């Protein structure tokens, strides 16, 4: 392992190399243009991790610091069993350290290089890949570099999606609602990316998933040519052939993923309902969580208000001052520095009485076509959309807390439904509708 300067706080301790007094560094696992990845051990928990070491000066030269920040934001946003976990981020004057889950089973690519996979094995990997991709898309994240080299396997043989360095967030979309950056690995890139006319990142990911499924089942790429431009022509035409051993159901699925027109490509929910993917899974998907509305109906608008037998509390619960301050600032943790945008719009302060806040929330829910359950005793409003969303009906809970004698905090949380739809609900619907009772939204100056 390379020698590290004292200013970077890496200490030589006999034969051991200790990073920032917390991790014992081990062997080199791999390296790229700007980073090296090492196996390491947490000295407190004895847990093995993988640490990606990024040199700031090299990143700054290539003006990639924003990309690094975005990667941190994305990896904090996507917590899923089939996605490599980012545990923490540390930094010195010259380097950035990504401390990640150590996945020791190697790349899926290493298995494919040896030959095609059995259909049941390929199906398991593809089920887990689609589960991870669906979760990313629900959070507004497009991976944009899905390929077998970025799919790792843990000790149980379960798939983990890695390398979010080229991923995109909603704020990267242009005014046309599309992405315009050409990126990815040529053999796995969707044709619309190559055409340089703007593309939907989620739909482009689906194309890459189709290429991956083909590779898993065949042992080779669908679009192959030593001449890159000739390979692009094949991609533009979706020109490929199936080997004879791929089953008819798998062929049907792949042929509906590798569709040149992104609007005609299968969506993730459609993939999940496909016969080939569902094989071996429970027949009925888990139903969406519904709210318990109780029995009491309002006399006019049909909305519901729930009261406890002891009546209403005089004031809402007290919101711990330390908790309040912590949640309203990004703190000094480098990892959280890149998360503040994600929390915006989920909490606000108000100088209005709690009863007035509850009434306003109930009124807004009705105007937005949401059913509302108001619990005066608990100072909560439970809202549920009447229209089916991407993951069922969106359900949101708003809670009112007391911070000071004349200041209340209102906190929103998602009970069920799609996370991206929840974010839009908070930012685009609730925020303007509550402007007359809001003192300050979280993350903004009072």
Would you list which residues are annotated within the binding site for ATP?
52
For residues 7 and 180, give the distance between their C-alpha atoms in angstroms, rounded to a whole number.
40
154 is catalytic: no
Task: Say if residues 179 and 205 touch (Cβ distance below 8 Å).
Answer: no
Annotated binding site: 52
Task: Say if residues 29 and 50 touch (Cβ distance below 8 Å).
Answer: yes
For residues 423 and 365, give the distance between their C-alpha atoms in angstroms, rounded to a whole number.
16
Task: Say if residues 211 and 258 touch (Cβ distance below 8 Å).
Answer: yes
Closest by Cα among 403, 400, 402 to 381: 400
Catalytic residue among 57, 134, 145, 418: 145
Task: Say if residues 216 and 116 touch (Cβ distance below 8 Å).
Answer: yes
Task: Say if residues 106 and 157 touch (Cβ distance below 8 Å).
Answer: no
For residues 35 and 51, give the distance between their C-alpha atoms in angstroms, rounded to a whole number.
10
Cβ neighbors of 338 (< 8 A, separation 6 or more) are 69, 72, 73, 76, 89
Closest by Cα among 247, 207, 210 to 120: 247
Q: How many Cα atoms sit within 13 Å of 16 on the Cβ side?
A: 12
Q: How many Cα atoms sit within 13 Å of 186 on the Cβ side?
A: 12
Most distant CA pair in the chain, distance: 78
Q: Which helix (H) or strand (E) holds 272?
A: helix 268-272
User: Residue 360: how many CB atoms within 10 A of its CB?
Assistant: 19
- Decide: residue 121, CB within 10 A, 0-12 exposed, 13-18 middle, 19+ buried: middle
Beta-strand relationship, 159-161 and 151-153: antiparallel
Closest by Cα among 168, 153, 265 to 208: 265
DSSP secondary structure of 135-159: HHHHTT-B----SGGGEEE-TTS-E
- Decide: residue 428, CB within 10 A, 0-12 exposed, 13-18 middle, 19+ buried: exposed
Q: Which residues are catalytic?
A: 145
């Amino acid at each position: 392992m390379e020698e590290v300067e004292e200013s970077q706080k890496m200490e030589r301790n006999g034969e051991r190399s200790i990073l920032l007094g917390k991790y014992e560094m081990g062997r080199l696992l791999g390296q790229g243009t700007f980073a090296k990845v090492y196996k390491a051990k947490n000295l407190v928990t004895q847990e093995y991790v993988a640490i990606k070491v990024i040199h700031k000066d090299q990143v700054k030269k290539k003006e990639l610091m924003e990309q690094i920040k975005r990667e941190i934001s994305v990896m904090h946003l996507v917590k899923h069993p089939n996605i490599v976990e980012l545990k923490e981020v540390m930094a010195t004057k010259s380097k950035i350290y990504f401390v990640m889950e150590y996945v020791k089973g190697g790349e899926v690519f290493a298995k494919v290089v040896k030959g095609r996979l059995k259909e049941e094995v390929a199906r398991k990997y593809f089920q887990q890949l689609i589960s991870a991709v669906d979760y990313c898309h629900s959070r507004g994240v497009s991976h944009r570099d899905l390929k077998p080299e970025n799919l790792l396997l843990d000790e149980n043989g379960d798939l983990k999606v890695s390398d979010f360095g080229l991923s995109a967030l909603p704020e990267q979309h242009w005014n046309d609602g599309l992405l315009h950056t050409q990126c990815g690995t040529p053999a796995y890139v969707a044709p619309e990316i190559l055409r340089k006319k703007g593309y939907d990142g989620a739909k482009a990911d689906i194309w890459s998933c189709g290429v991956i499924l083909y590779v898993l089942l065949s042992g080779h790429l669908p679009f192959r040519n030593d001449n890159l431009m000739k390979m692009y022509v094949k991609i533009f035409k979706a020109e490929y052939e199936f080997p004879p051993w791929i089953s008819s159901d798998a062929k049907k699925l792949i042929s509906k993923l590798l569709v040149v027109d992104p609007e005609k490509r299968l969506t993730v929910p459609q993939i999940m309902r496909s016969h080939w993917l569902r094989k071996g899974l429970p027949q009925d998907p888990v139903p969406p969580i519904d709210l318990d509305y109780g029995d009491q109906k309002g006399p006019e608008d049909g909305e519901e208000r729930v009261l406890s037998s002891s009546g209403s509390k005089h004031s809402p619960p007290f919101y711990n001052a330390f908790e309040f301050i912590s949640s309203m600032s990004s703190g000094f943790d480098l990892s959280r520095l890149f998360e503040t945008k994600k929390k915006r719009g989920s909490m606000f302060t108000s100088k209005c009485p709690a009863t007035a806040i509850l009434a306003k929330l109930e009124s807004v829910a009705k105007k937005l076509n949401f059913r509302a359950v108001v619990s005066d005793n608990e100072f909560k409003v439970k809202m549920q959309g009447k229209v089916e969303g991407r993951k069922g009906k969106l359900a949101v809970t708003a809670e009112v807390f007391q911070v000071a004698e004349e200041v209340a905090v209102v906190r929103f949380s998602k009970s069920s439904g799609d996370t991206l739809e929840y974010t839009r609900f908070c930012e685009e619907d609730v925020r303007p509708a509550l402007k007359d009772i809001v003192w300050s939204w979280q993350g903004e100056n009072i």
